[in-house]
Amino acid sequence: MRKIFLLFVALLATTALWAYDFKSGDLYYNITSSSEPYTVEVTYQYEWSETNYSSLTSVVIPESVTYNGTTYSVTSIGERAFYECQSLTSITIPNSVTSIGGHAFVSCDSLTSITIPESITSIGEEAFAYCRNMKSVVWNAINCAYFSYSSNEGPFGDQRYNSAITSFSFTFGDSVQHIPAYLCYGMTKLTSVTIPNSVTSIGTQAFYGCSGLTSVVWNAINCADFLSDSRSRPFGYNSITSFTFGDSVQHIPAYLCSGMTKLTSVTLPNSVTSVGNAAFYECSGLTSPVYNAHCFVYMPTSYSGAYAIPEGIKQIAGSAFRGCVGLTSVTIPNSVTSIGDYAFDGCSGLTSPVYNAHSFAYMPTSYQGDYVIPEGIKQIAGAAFRDCSGLKSVTINSDAIVNKDYSSADNLKTIFGSQVTKYIIGPTKILTMEGWMTKLGKDPKYAESPEQLKLDAMEMFITQYKTSRGIYQNLGEGACDSYNTDHCSDSPESAKREINNFFNTETFTKYALELNAGLFVGALDESVENDALFERKSPTKWTEVIGAVNLGYTNFIIPEVRLKH
C-alpha cells in the first residue's frame, strides 16, 4: 500500500513538471483555444528547473504547429517558458506571437540579444530579467503594454547589480507608437536612445534610473503630454546632458525635460510650434535662452536685467521664466498669443504688470488695490496673479478667457487669490437666452440690448418649455415638467406674465450685464454644479443672487445653472 502511495505522489510531481499538452519539434505547447481560431502557447519543458530546455542553444519559434490533424497558430510565449535556459544563445519570435508571459526568459545567461516583433501587445513581469549577458534589444512592438505586479522593475530587469554588461543598446523600430511603462527601468548601462517619429505616447518611468543615459534624440512628431507628477515622466534619475529634437517634431510634451539638472545642450528646430507646460522647468544646467521661430521655452534662472522676447514668437511656454528673480523687465511682442501657466511665476524683480495686446502674463506680487485688465486681452495666463495679496478687485473685459485648467468659477481664487473680494465683468455683449442654453465658446448668440434679450427669453420659454402635458414653465418659481407641476403656468399667457414680472427693468438689466461673468468662466459647463444655487427659486432670490455677484462672490455662473431647469 505504501508503494502505491509513493507512486501516486511521484506521478503528481511528474504532472506538475510536465504541464504541457503536446510537443512539436524541440518545443512544448499548451492549447489555449481548441476551437477556431485554434491557438497555442509555447510552454516550459520542466517548470522552475535548471534542466528546462537544457539542450537548446538556438530556437526559432514557428508561426504555427500541427497536432492530431489540427493546425494551431502560435500566439504566445507562456510564463516561465524558457526559465533558466542557460545554454540558449538566440531566439526568433514570429509576428504571430502577441504576448510574452512573466519570467519567460529569466536567467537566460547566454542570450546576448533579442528582437521583439511588431505583433507583441503585452509583456509580463521581468520577462527578460537577469539575462546577465544581454547587450542589445531591438524593440518593434507597435503598441505593447507591460504588466508588473510586485515591483517597478521593467521586463528587462535592473542592471545596477550586473557587472558583466559593460555596454548596452536599445533600438526602437520605426513603427513603434507606444513605449510601455518601466520598459527600460534601471538600465544603467544604456548611454543613448533615439525616440522614433512614430511614437505618440510613453508610459510611466519608461527610462527611470538609466543613470548612464547622457544623450537623447527625440523624433516623436506629436507625443502626448506628461503629468506634473515626477513619477509619471519617462526620464528620471539620469545623467542626460544632450537632448536633440528632430526636424519633424511639432510638439514638445509637457514636463518632458523637467528637472534634468545636467542638461547643457538643447537643439530646438523650427518645426516645433507648440510646447507643453514646464517642458524645461528646473533645467539648471542650461545657461542660454531656449527658443525657436515660434516658441520661447526656457530662460536660465540666473538671467539678470531686462529682456525682449524676439519678434515672431507665438507662444511662451509654461514656467519658461519661472524663478528668474533677476529679471527686471520683459517686453512681449504682439505676435505672442499664448502664454503658459506659471510662465513668470516667482519673477520678483518685475515691478510692472506684464502683458501684450492679447495676453496677460504676470502681476507683480507687490501690487496693491484694484486692477482693470486692459481691453483686448483675450487670455489670462494661469497663476498670473498668484501671491498678489494686496489685490482687492479685478475688472475683466468680457472677451477675456483663462487657461484651460482654471476655467471654472470655483477655481478663480487659483488665478487671482482668495483675498480678492470683487470681480467686475465689463458688459460689452449681452448673451441671448438661446446662447444661455447652448455651450458657450462654440456658437454663442448675443442680443443688441436688454430689451431684445427679454423678448428672446419670453419666446424661448413659451415655445421650448411646453411639456408633454401642455403645461408651461414658470421661470420665477423653479423647475417645471410632467413630473413636477408645482411651479408650472397653466397657459402661454400666464407663463409670459410670470417671465415679464421676473425680468423687470432694473433686475433684468443687471442680470443681463452680469451674465458676462459666465462668459469669462466658461458658463454652461455641465460639469459645474452647486446644490445651493438650485434653492434660488423666486425673483426675490434672483435679485439677491445678482446682488451677491456685485458684492464679490466668485460663483457668477449662477444664472446659467438656474436657467437650465
Q: Using one digit for the tens of pLDDT, what is the confidence trace for 27-37?
A: 999 999 999 99
The percent of residues in the chain predicted with pLDDT above 70, rounded, is: 65
pTM: 0.72
Spatial distance between the Cα atoms of 37 and 27, rounded to a whole number of angstroms: 21
Whether the pLDDT of residue 98 is over 50: the answer is yes
Q: How far apart are CA 441 and CA 519, in angstroms?
A: 8
For residue 375, what pLDDT band results from cuts at 50, 70 and 90?
confident
Task: Provide the pLDDT confidence category of residue 561 given band limits of 50, 70 and 90.
Answer: very low
Mean pLDDT of 342-367: 95
Task: Say if residues 315 and 293 touch (Cβ distance below 8 Å).
Answer: no
User: Using CA of residue 401, residue 376, residue 372, residue 305, what is the dihedral sign?
Assistant: positive
Which 3-state string (H, E, C) describes 57-78?
A: CEEECCCEEEECCEEEEEEEEC
- The pLDDT value recorded for residue 42 is 98
Q: Are 83 and 53 in contact (CB under 8 A)?
A: no
- Which range among 99-108, 361-370, 459-468, 492-501 shows the weakest confidence by mean pLDDT? 459-468
pLDDT value at residue 162: 66
Beta-bridge mates of residue 426: 397
Asked if residues 441 and 449 have their Cβ atoms less than 8 Å apart, the reply is no
Residues 6+ apart with CB under 8 A from 148: 125, 126, 154, 181, 182
- Residue 478 has what pLDDT? 42
Q: Write out the H or E segment, with its range, that includes residue 501.
A: helix 492-502
Confidence tier at 26 by pLDDT (50, 70, 90): very high
C-beta separation of 260 from 238 below 8 A: yes
Spatial separation of the C-alpha atoms in residues 471 and 480, rounded to whole Å: 8
Stretch among 17-21, 215-219, 324-328, 494-498 having the lowest mean pLDDT: 494-498
Taking Cα atoms as reference points, which of 352, 285, 283, 362 lies closest to residue 316?
362
Confidence of residue 233 (pLDDT cuts 50, 70, 90): confident
Q: Name the residue among 222, 235, 298, 295 with its Cα closest to residue 265.
A: 298
Residue with the larger pLDDT of the pair 531 and 55: 55
Q: CB 421: neighbour CB atoms within 10 A?
A: 12
Half-sphere exposure (Cβ direction) of 516: Cα atoms closer than 13 Å = 22
**E-state strands within 433-478:** 446-447, 472-473
Q: Is the Cβ–Cβ distance between 403 and 534 less than 8 Å?
A: no
Average pLDDT over residues 401-407: 41
- Which residues are paired to 178 by β-bridges? 143, 201
Q: Tell me, what's the pLDDT at 490? A: 58
Q: Which residue has the higher pLDDT, 558 or 508?
A: 508
Cell match 529634437: residue? 245
pLDDT tens string 261-279: 999 989 899 999 999 999 9
Q: Report the greatest alpha carbon distance in the chain.
A: 104
Q: What is the identity of the amino acid at 66? A: T
Percent of the chain with pLDDT over 90: 50
Contact predicate 92/116, CB 8 Å: no
Model confidence at 82, pLDDT cuts 50, 70, 90, reads very high
**Res. 200: pLDDT tops 80:** yes
C-alpha to C-alpha distance for 299 and 281, rounded to whole angstroms: 9
